Amino acid sequence: MMIKALKELWQYRELVYNLVLRDLKVRYKNSVLGVLWSWLNPLLMMLVFTFVFNVMQRSPMRDFHIFVLSGLLPWNFFSAAVMGGLFSVTGNSHLIKKVYFPREILPISTVLSGLVNFIISLPVLFLLALISGVPLSAWVLLLPLPILVQTCFTIGFVFFLSTLEVFYRDTHMVMDVAILAWFFLTPIWYSVQQVAETATLLGVHFSPRRLLFWLNPMASIINTYQDLVYHGQLTTWDFLARTAVTAVIILVLGYAFFLRFRGRFGEEL
């Protein structure tokens, strides 16, 4: 069933392109600054984090703003794609009821439009790094690797959420809280090395740092971006490899879950 669905999806690839283009046009419609917002938004957030954690708390990290921005940009891509993709099916109920097309196109196009916006914002990170005197090593050329892993993981995750939102309309309320908690549990403005190696809770000894990588795929993905851009090396090959496998598993399971229930979308909407 999945192979057949993939073949059908490929036949509708032009529709995916048109929907991605539509999402991008809607995002910047009636916006004075247009695409510049994809640069200004993360820059403004970076300034806030830099002021709070580098000025007020005097973080010992050099070029703290580059460290934050290299993690903030991919996180913004993830959170925007998840929260937007969650409504990708329910928000297009008028299309689902009138026209036939593979329903998975809707969450995929939402994530891909977020990916395009993320790629547009990357030059700001590179330019700011050069201005700040932060050397960009040849490791930056490996950035497509975490981008691919993150995109696979995000699409798979959105398959689950967009399906659940059709049947349980309070899914987005749960995710509003979950995405905020997820943000704080992801090392964006703090280094992985700052996470305790060992801890004890209710008499149980465990490693918070290891659990962070094992239970939070975004932690490994964000850390990879910061490794490649800020540190100029890749120190977590093993965790990235496991995360890549996890991303593929989530993608396959999410797609299977979506296909299992997509036939009921029309009657539920």
Torsion sign (Cα): 169, 269, 116, 234: positive
Reduce the DSSP state of residue 264 to 3 states and report it.
helix
List the pLDDT tens digit at each of the 269 positions of the chain: 788 888 888 898 899 999 998 887 777 665 555 566 666 777 777 777 677 666 655 666 678 888 888 999 999 999 999 999 999 999 888 888 888 889 999 999 999 999 998 998 898 889 888 888 888 888 899 999 999 999 999 999 999 999 999 999 889 999 999 999 999 889 888 887 777 677 777 777 767 777 777 788 999 999 999 999 988 888 777 778 889 999 999 999 999 999 999 988 888 87
For the entire predicted model, the pTM comes to: 0.90
Backbone angles phi, psi at 142, to 5 degrees: -90, 5
Q: What does the pLDDT read at residue 162?
A: 96
**Where does the chain have alpha helices with state H?**
2-11, 13-28, 37-50, 64-85, 93-98, 105-131, 144-167, 171-184, 208-215, 217-226, 237-261, 265-268
Q: Which residues are CB-contacts of 125 (< 8 A; sequence separation ≥ 6)?
A: 66, 69, 70, 73, 229
CB atoms within 10 A of CB 182: 17
pLDDT digits (tens, 9 = 90+) for 4-54: 888 888 898 899 999 998 887 777 665 555 566 666 777 777 777 677 666
Q: What does the pLDDT read at residue 33?
A: 58
Domain boundaries, the chain: 2-268
In angstroms, how far apart are the furthest CA atoms of the chain?
58
Q: What does the pLDDT read at residue 30?
A: 59
Q: What does the pLDDT read at residue 50?
A: 72
Report the amino acid identity of residue 91: G
Q: Which residues are CB-contacts of 137 (< 8 A; sequence separation ≥ 6)?
A: 232, 233
